[in-house]
Structure 1
Amino acid sequence: MQRLNLDREKAKQYIEEVEEGRRRWVHFFYGVSWDESSHYDVIVNLEQMNVDNAASALCNMAQLPDFQMTPASERAMKDLWLAAKARLLLAQDARTARCSFTVRAENGVVNVSYLPRDAKVGVYVPQVLEKLEGLKELRHTISTTNILWIQENFDPNSEIFGQITEIADKWNAAIELLRMSPVEEEVQKEGDRVELEFEQVPQEPVYTGGIEDDVIEPEPKDDGGLKETLNELIKSGRSGGGRSVGESPRKLLDSIDRSVTYSLIVIGNVFLSKGEATRKRMVRELQSLLMDNLKVPVVTSEELKSQYLFGAKDLPKLITFLILTVIFYTLVFTHQEPILNFLRAETWLEKGLAAIAVGLFVPTIAYIYGSVTGLILKLIKME
């Protein structure tokens, strides 16, 4: 109040306006509401506790092992830092400053995607980012949109891989891979994390003549085909990056970058450790969660082909609807006079029948014509 020279009412109004602006800012960039309680680990009600006691409690709580940095959280922070530095370099360089880039980082690998209209400028991306500290590998893709593919085990030789890449080619889209780690891996990761958190302070190291340097590094764990599939996407120019998350739907949702524009989300083989009935229920719940929060079409691998690709089952439908369309239009154009006479009914009964006929005919022909159009567009691979 003193700094801005405002009275109490104007100061209150100013604070409300600032908070509203920040709320809109957070929602615009991250697609979340900052007053959603599920986004916070602790919420303190100051009506039941004064500020000093609340601050003391929070400071003590912050010292607990649960709130300490872990290798996973440190890696996530490094990825965010690396992506932010890449965006800054691209924005500062005159050659790339006017372009819109989507930048993500994962373990030192930076993925940059841009629109086809910026293809000429995209060639400068490697030059701009070549001196980026912490950069291990750079991947840049031309795309107009993104497809998010969620799965537990990826296989570049699978049918669904071919289907998704076919759609990506149609839409000029980048494919982002998101692997849901099985429960067993999650348990192991959690165990490793707890062990690290409670590890004792190391003693003064003893010189061993370099023997510890000769220890053979353990083989990397199975990544569920993530790297192999990602390499295939890189070769085809459709890579949108890839990473692994836990099997929890909430963790998966939190890991999705809200600033990225997705046109489609595909849920493949997930929750494989569950029974068939449980797995189907959990997939439906995940599908609803993603649709409600991201406002993007979400389909399962079984629904993908029927909704977006022309298959053998669509051919009889196309032929049937084409025949019906021809019959309807032929009848209309060859019987125009009787139809007009019928519509120019004079009695209330005839007018009612005409209204019912129009009410039935128009939606029917619209459905048939729309079905024919949709199937033809699928056949010629257009949207």
Structure 2
Amino acid sequence: MTHRLVVRTALLLLIGGLTRVTAAQAPPAAPSPASRPPAVLTDEAARRAGDNYQRYCALCHGRDREGHVNDHAPSLRSKSLLESEFPVLGEAIGYGRQGTPMGGYLDEVGGPMTRQEIGDMLRWLRKTAAVEAIDMGNHSLDRTIGDATRGAAVYAQQCATCHGTKGEGGTGTALGNAAMLALTPDRFLRHAIVNGRQGTPMPAFGGVLSKTQIDDVTAFLRSRSTGSAAGKRTLRTPPALADAVINATGRAPEFGELKEGRYLSAAALDRELKAKRRMVLLDTRVTSMWQMAHIEGAVPIPYYSRDVTLAALPRDGTWIVAYCECPRAAADSVVKRLREDGGFKNTAVLYEGIQGWVSLGYPVVAGDATKPAATPAKP
């Protein structure tokens, strides 16, 4: 769906080498979120950016930007990424990346950050890592001349172990995102392949592959691009917490013993939802992800929400089930807060997360008010 065009920060962090695009080269288009950070990062803006990083990013990327704390989220210290200046990184933070736990943090898609705040964060990351931006040349949008068929063979031999045979990701970031490839210049891809990404398992292939092989792999990745473009979305207003109880007149769910005293299986949750049991479902991802798709009846309560969550939830023993896409890190943090700070006892975390939920065939609905519900068939 074109309205779900997203580009995940994690990919960009893997293939760091963002290319500067001059005004003469840039195609006429609406400004990208945070594509040009402000010329000067003031001390106050840097402080706010650091606070925003800890609030929104540290859960997965690490408090010190070390990466791989949750969901293989890459390091944000990479010189090969942070020395670059191509606007795709702003797109990734702003709009997230389809099919991954990276949601969109731009307020225009339901996230908590303005364009200015995203731009400040980009500059703060570069400043914190003491990395200067570089100019990668005047032909950043030129297509690489290579053989995609030969490139597929090189990819299978050199890349698939980490990035997946179909680009689905693993130790390395997923590379099978056609929408991302439509926005990414070839020099950006080549820079990552040649230079790798410092401090991560991604090595530099400049001394391993020939120039022709690198061109071929780049052409192979390019061949998977669809050229899709983002469309305008109409956001649905999330339900109020006062209306969070599902099946208010139903009986309490019978979940049985929770794994490690906390985790609930997708099968058990689906069974109790079908039985019309009374409960609260909390979608703890950034709200833009709820807008894309969520378990029906779930209320978006992002993991970075604080006192409002505790104050508005029912205190009559109603079960509260939280889920995220990590598959558990964000939901774990919310449930821990509910238990330790709020005294809520009947709480659980969906063990498989929403991606596991969908992969197992359980239904979700779209948050986008312009689209019908999407209900995958249960096998």
- Tell me the TM-score normalized by structure 2: 0.21
Bigger Rg over Cα: 1
**What TM-score do the two structures reach when normalised by structure 1?**
0.21
Structure with greater strand share of residues: 1
Question: Higher relative contact order at CA 8 Å, sep ≥6: structure 1 or structure 2?
Answer: 2
